[in-house]
Amino acid sequence: MKKKGIAPAVIIIMIVGVLVGLVVIYAIAFPGQLASKMRDALFSLGLGRLPEERMPSLETRVTGAVYLCDDDNCLDIPPSTPWRRVPESGSSGSDDDSIGRISDICNEEPSPEDSSDPSDPDKICGEIGSVAITGSYNVRLYEHENYHGETICIVQSVKLGDYNWNKKTKSVKLFESGECETQG
């Protein structure tokens, strides 16, 4: 005679299913929170990076910014170091509509917000391989210092190797969204 009722294995499977469903709902309702909590948990187990070694999370980048990273590390979650933030300087004081600029990646002093290897703070020089854009910005990358040479206009986060531009950037101008394409 068969017993009627639910087998213990079915109950365990149902509990696991509910837990997975709750994690998915949490991830959808609070994007970025789950990844942040997992990074912190991994760090507490001796893995991952210190919080101050990480690129600021989307929650802390409320105003938006443009970040330049070595290789394709701007596309990592979280983005890897070293990276350089393109500063917004307000009025440009120049003949174009740029709102921020770096005239020479290799010789300009990194800001305190920038991440860098303490043993070699200029490690990003000649190594820019990806761009992360948060907020309503575009960025124009230049092949040479002081905004000379070939250029490319970037309107979203990208791996520069996909555009045959890997490790070519020497200077940068920051624009409000839509302005990059109208500037040369």
Give residue-wise pLDDT tens across range 28-59.
Answer: 877 667 666 776 766 666 665 555 555 555 44
Adjacency order of strands within the sheet including 100-102: 100-102, 171-176, 137-144, 148-154
In the chain, % of residues over pLDDT 70: 65
pTM: 0.61
Counted domains in the chain: 1
2-34 confidence digits (pLDDT tens): 666 678 888 899 999 999 988 888 778 776 676
Is 124 within a domain? yes
Concatenate the DSSP letters of all residues of 13-51 into one string. HHHHHHHHHHHHHHHHHSTTHHHHHHHHHHHHTT-S--G
Q: How far apart are the first and last CA of the chain?
A: 84
Residue 43 belongs to a domain: no
**pLDDT greater at residue 61 or residue 166:** 166
Whether 14 is in a domain gets the answer no
Please check whether residue 103 lies inside any domain of the structure.
yes
Give dist(CA 116, CA 93) in Å, integer: 29
Residue range of the domain that includes 166 = 56-182
4: in domain = no
Q: Which residues pair with 133 in a beta bridge?
A: 66
d(CA 184, CA 179): 10
Q: What's the confidence (pLDDT) of residue 58?
A: 46
- Contact predicate 70/124, CB 8 Å: yes
For residue 177, tell me if it sits in a domain: yes
Q: By three-state DSSP, how is residue 145 classified?
A: helix
Starting at the earlier edge strand, list the strands of the sheet with 158-159: 83-86, 65-70, 128-134, 158-159
| pLDDT, greater one: 177 or 182 | 177
Structural domain contains residue 109: yes
**CATH code at position 170:** 2.60.20.10
Does 5 map to a domain?
A: no
